Amino acid sequence: VQKKKRKLPEVFTVEEVFRIIHSADNIKHKTILMLTYSSGLRVGELVNLRVSDIARDSMRLKVRDAKGGRDRYTLLSNICLTQLEQYWKTYRPYNWLFCGRMPGTHMSIRAVQHAYQRAKNKAGITKQCGIHTLRHSFATHMIETGSGIFQLQKFLGHRHLNTTLVYVHLN
């Protein structure tokens, strides 16, 4: 059986990430993009965040029922916490961090993808890549700034180190 060829994931520069985040239409979308990047979240993990998942005291974010059905903690940056506080003052979420259109529901994955595409286009970035590229960029930038591979594996929620080692090759 021939092994599947693995292409290296596309990544944004730090400057491109900054442009995308600051091109968001509103505070909710800006918070979503900032959190996706700075915590290395998958879009499905982002929409499932609850207000109670923000651990201010330890500057961590609880990711429930992630890929593989496991919970994990990831980073919560100071900049992102400040952004979350602004977002909270504006929207006052009480259960889901990012509420959907229907009361009691969370925002849809499609709505998040749409917000990302709008921001990416507004930022003038023409790379053909989805919101998951923010997660790849987070991982690559963590490695570039000297973060340990085992620590990164924990933040990303990878079961196997080989999955995380892809980001070392990108660097």
Q: How confident is the model at residue 169 (pLDDT cuts 50, 70, 90)?
A: confident
Q: Which of 19, 50, 122, 132 is catalytic?
A: 132
In the chain, the percentage of residues whose pLDDT exceeds 70 is: 95
Q: Are strands 72-75 and 54-55 parallel, antiparallel or unpaired?
A: unpaired
In tens, the pLDDT along 6-20 reads 677 889 999 999 999
Is 158 one of the annotated active-site residues of the chain? yes
Looking at residue 171, its pLDDT comes to 63
Across residues 142-152, what is the average pLDDT?
93
pLDDT score of 140 more than 80: yes
Q: Which of 72, 106, 120, 135 is catalytic?
A: 135
Across residues 95-121, what is the average pLDDT?
96
Structure tokens at 53: 């998942």
Question: How many C-alpha atoms does 9 have within 13 Å on its Cβ side?
Answer: 21
Is 110 one of the annotated active-site residues of the chain? no
In tens, the pLDDT along 40-92 reads 999 999 999 999 999 999 999 999 988 888 899 999 999 999 999 999 999 99
Q: Which of 60, 67, 118, 122 is catalytic?
A: 67
Is 42 one of the annotated active-site residues of the chain? yes
Structure tokens at 95: 């259960």
Looking at residue 69, its pLDDT comes to 85
Is 61 strand, coil or helix?
Answer: strand
Is 167 one of the annotated active-site residues of the chain? yes
Please tell me which residue, 134 or 7, carries the higher pLDDT value: 134
Is 19 one of the annotated active-site residues of the chain? no
Is 37 one of the annotated active-site residues of the chain? no
Looking at residue 8, its pLDDT comes to 74
pLDDT score of 1 more than 80: no
Q: Name every residue whose Cβ is closer than 8 Å to that of residue 24 and which is 6 or more positions away in sequence.
A: 30, 32, 33, 115, 118, 119
Looking at residue 170, its pLDDT comes to 66
Tell me, yes or no, if the pTM score tops 0.75: yes
- Rounded to whole angstroms, what are the CA distances from 39 to 78, 92, 149? 11, 21, 15
- Rounded to whole angstroms, what are the CA distances from 72 to 14, 20, 21, 38, 47? 25, 27, 25, 15, 15
Q: Which of 29, 30, 42, 106 is catalytic?
A: 42
